[in-house]
Amino acid sequence: MEAGEAAVILARARQGDEDAFRVLVELHARAAFRLAFRLMRDERDAEDVVQESFIRAHRRLPAFEARSNFGTWLHRIIVNCALDALRSRDGRGQNRREEPVELPETLTFDGPSPERLAHSDEIRRRLEESMQMLTTQERVAFTLRHHEGRSIEDIGETLGIQHSAAKHAVFRAVRKLRAALEPLRREA
């Protein structure tokens, strides 16, 4: 879709045109699901986040600045919805532990390729566990940096934290993932 067409659709959606908003939903739903799933790591939770994000987006559309990018704006809404959902899940004791992780002294790796390892059930299980060990902020910061390619500065703005705090959230996430995955890599 050309930029001009996208702008017209957005303008109509902002003026309350339901069909135009539907086009926006249909255009952005798959990317929304990918981000929501990365953050939630659960299909059903991701679906809930996608749905809630579009409902919030519709409610806030009149306040949306026309010169902004709708995709980026929606991205932030999805992150906020996911943060709410993760905090709520944490509150129910279904998420990560806060205890510190012991980090290995050395970081050597001579095993098979990571592509092969990624297919092993054990790696997946350990990865899942290690992601659960991250705090909500670490998980979101890492996902945005690693999977979504967002800059540290952008992550800080999205999460409403300082640049250095965003950077250290990513560092901590990598350290924890490394600590959890390194022993398996050595065994392989």
Please give the residue ranges that form the binding site for another protein (CB under 8 A).
1, 4-5, 8-9, 12, 15-16, 18-19, 21-23, 25-30, 32-34, 37-38, 43, 50-51, 54-55, 58-59, 61-62, 107-109, 113-115, 117-118, 123-124, 127, 145-147, 151-152, 167, 170-171, 174-175, 177-178, 181-182, 185
Residue with Cβ nearer another protein (18 or 91) = 18
48/11 Cα distance (integer angstroms):
27
89/171 Cα distance (integer angstroms):
24
Cβ-proximal residues to 1 (8 Å cutoff; 6+ apart), any chain: 9, 27
Residue with Cβ nearer another protein (85 or 93) = 85
Residue with Cβ nearer another protein (4 or 93) = 4
Residue with Cβ nearer another protein (59 or 97) = 59
> C-beta of 147: minimal distance to another protein in Å?
8
Distances (CA, A) of 135 to 28, 132, 173: 28, 8, 8
> C-beta of 175: minimal distance to another protein in Å?
7
159/156 Cα distance (integer angstroms):
5
Q: 81 and 53 in contact (C-beta within 8 Å)?
A: yes
Q: 129 and 96 in contact (C-beta within 8 Å)?
A: no
Residue with Cβ nearer another protein (12 or 89) = 12
> C-beta of 37: minimal distance to another protein in Å?
5
> C-beta of 31: minimal distance to another protein in Å?
10
Q: 90 and 136 in contact (C-beta within 8 Å)?
A: yes
